[in-house]
């Protein structure tokens, strides 16, 4: 992480007090005149050597330096950089004063936080939205050689000094996202209904138009289209039962076949519809919304403008509801995931797997193949650490339960019920040829489980026992065969 080069890694280095305090939003105060460690103590912030290594700081999930964060916003890729904007309170540890903060990465794993991008104004605070590269300058905003980035966000007028309804606004950047200019004629979409919000914009190549998905109220959404990103026309109403806010709308091949695709209309809690889209109308083929995730995963958004040579659909979610005792920040993002559509006996379903870049953090490896696991036996005895990646393929045999205990937290597969559980969360998981596959990521404040190549995805966000660094694999009621088991200790992405 470039933070260690720019700010602080240990107290043997020399730091500029004003630069550090500016990074946390207080660079112009009188605190800048105090010694840095004294300033941090007064502010309740970690000393420089502790930044990004606090007791409950996730070590390979994005968190802001300080204060509150929630929805990922404006996920866009441009010239080697993944941009992650996010809902942020720059002045408090709890929700409020919503601002678009900003981070960038070259690999989705190592992040550098930049200055805040879009801040509240007379139209309101800055709620969630999206961003695109306007490759053909349809907006006319481009002024130099760089392609213009355009961001869409909700102006939350309820929080303005003079209260207003919620409207949709845009801002643009001609310097690779480093600075942003709000469009002088904002808002571009006037109030429609209730707290309408969360514009997600995509480019539809066949019709050469921009399409926006927008949440209205309750379970109601709409689609709009535009040719210039400034004027928008409503084209369709969509209902996504049991959902609400933060829509996404994208196309994926089925089983990797580019000639057989489906469009997904996605809601903030991970429910989605499958169907077709011709540029004017989305036609669902699933009568009821399908479930895609279990646990702490909300307001997820996929990246715009991933290069065709890469071709992945990459998603990041907010791990809503996590607890971070006595930390200078609050809340975290999920691991970035690659989304695919695969065909199962029950139909076409969405699958999640961690992005391949997680491999960059792998350290020491432990491996087993075709190894019987007897009742109460633990192959992982003696392995200790904080951060792990685990991949296992297990032939179920005659055991009633099989699973892991990860730093004190059980992950259990019930063979008879065909369910996978972690803490209070349970998901269905059907074996394939009497086998299950588990891909697990363990961080200081989360366990993420991707089962059967992502058919079941479970996100658990909570502070793990800092004193328990042990691993256990177990079988109860009988014996199973460990077809394969790989365990890696992971390195921190901040160092």
**71 noted as active-site residue:** yes
- Order of strands across the sheet that contains 111-118: 111-118, 99-105, 81-88, 67-78, 329-330
What DSSP character marks residue 256? T
The CB-based long-range contact list for 262-269 (8 Å cut-off, 24+ gap) reads 262/341, 262/348, 264/350, 265/213, 265/221, 265/238, 265/240, 266/292, 266/300, 267/219, 267/221, 267/240, 267/243, 268/198, 268/215, 268/243, 268/244, 268/298, 268/299, 268/300, 269/242, 269/243, 269/244, 269/298
CA angle 356, 442, 415 (to 5 degrees): 95
* Range list of β-strands (E), 397-455: 401-406, 409-414, 419-422, 425-428, 435-443, 446-451
What DSSP character marks residue 50? G
Q: Which letter, b or e, does each residue of 432-467 get, where b requires 16 or more Cβ atoms within 10 Å of its Cβ?
A: eeeebbbbbbbbbbbbbbbbbebbbbbbbbbebeee
Assigned token pair, 300 = 């997820």
* Catalytic entry in 19, 71, 198, 310: 71
Assigned token pair, 460 = 């658990």
Residue of 203, 224, 204 whose CA lies nearest to 279: 204
Close Cβ partners of 52 (under 8 Å, ≥ 6 residues apart): 1, 3, 4, 65, 492, 494, 495
| CA distances (Å), origin 31, targets 35, 282, 481 | 8, 55, 61
Catalytic residues: 71
């Amino acid at each position: 992480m470039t933070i260690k080069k720019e700010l602080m890694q240990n107290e043997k280095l020399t730091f500029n007090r004003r630069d550090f305090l500016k990074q946390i939003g207080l660079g112009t105060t009188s605190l800048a005149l105090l010694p840095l460690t004294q300033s941090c103590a007064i502010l309740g912030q970690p000393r420089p050597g502790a930044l990004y290594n606090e007791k409950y700081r996730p070590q390979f999930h994005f968190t802001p330096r300080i204060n509150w964060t929630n929805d990922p916003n404006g996920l866009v890729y441009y010239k080697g950089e993944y941009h992650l904007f996010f809902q942020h309170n720059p002045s408090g540890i709890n929700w409020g004063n919503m601002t678009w903060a900003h981070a960038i990465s070259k690999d989705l794993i190592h992040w550098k936080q930049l200055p805040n991008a879009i801040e509240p104004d007379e139209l309101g605070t800055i709620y969630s939205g999206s961003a695109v590269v306007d490759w053909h300058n349809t907006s006319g905003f481009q002024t130099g050689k760089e392609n213009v980035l355009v961001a869409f966000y909700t102006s939350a007028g309820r929080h303005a000094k003079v209260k207003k309804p919620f409207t949709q606004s845009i801002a643009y950047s001609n310097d690779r996202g480093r600075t942003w200019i709000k469009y002088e004629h904002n808002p571009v979409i006037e109030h429609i209904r209730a707290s309408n919000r969360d514009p997600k914009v995509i480019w539809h190549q066949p019709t050469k138009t921009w399409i926006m998905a927008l949440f209205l109220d309750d379970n109601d959404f709409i689609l709009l289209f535009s040719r210039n990103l400034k004027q928008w026309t409503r084209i369709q109403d969509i209902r996504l039962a049991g959902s609400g806010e933060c829509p996404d709308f994208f196309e994926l091949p089925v089983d990797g076949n580019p000639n057989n695709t489906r469009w997904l209309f996605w809601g903030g809690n991970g429910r989605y519809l499958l169907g077709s889209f011709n540029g004017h109308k989305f036609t669902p083929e699933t009568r009821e919304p399908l479930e895609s995730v279990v646990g702490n995963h909300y307001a997820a958004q996929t990246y715009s403008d991933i290069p065709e040579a890469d071709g992945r659909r990459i998603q990041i979610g907010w791990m809503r509801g996590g607890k971070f005792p006595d930390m200078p920040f609050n809340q975290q993002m999920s691991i970035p995931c690659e989304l695919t559509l695969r065909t199962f006996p029950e139909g076409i379903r969405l699958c999640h797997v961690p992005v391949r870049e997680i491999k960059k953090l792998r350290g020491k490896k432990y491996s087993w193949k075709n190894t019987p696991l007897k009742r109460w036996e633990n192959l992982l005895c003696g392995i200790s650490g904080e951060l792990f990646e685990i991949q296992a393929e297990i032939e179920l045999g005659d055991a009633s339960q099989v699973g892991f205990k990860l730093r004190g937290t059980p992950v259990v597969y019930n063979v008879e019920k065909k369910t996978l559980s972690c803490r209070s969360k349970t998901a269905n998981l059907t074996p394939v040829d009497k086998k299950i596959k588990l891909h697990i990521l363990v961080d200081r404040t989360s366990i993420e489980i991707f089962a059967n190549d992502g058919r079941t995805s479970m996100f658990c966000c909570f502070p793990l026992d800092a004193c328990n660094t042990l691993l256990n694999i177990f079988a109860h009621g009988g014996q199973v065969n460990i077809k394969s088991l790989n365990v890696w200790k992971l390195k921190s992405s901040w160092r």
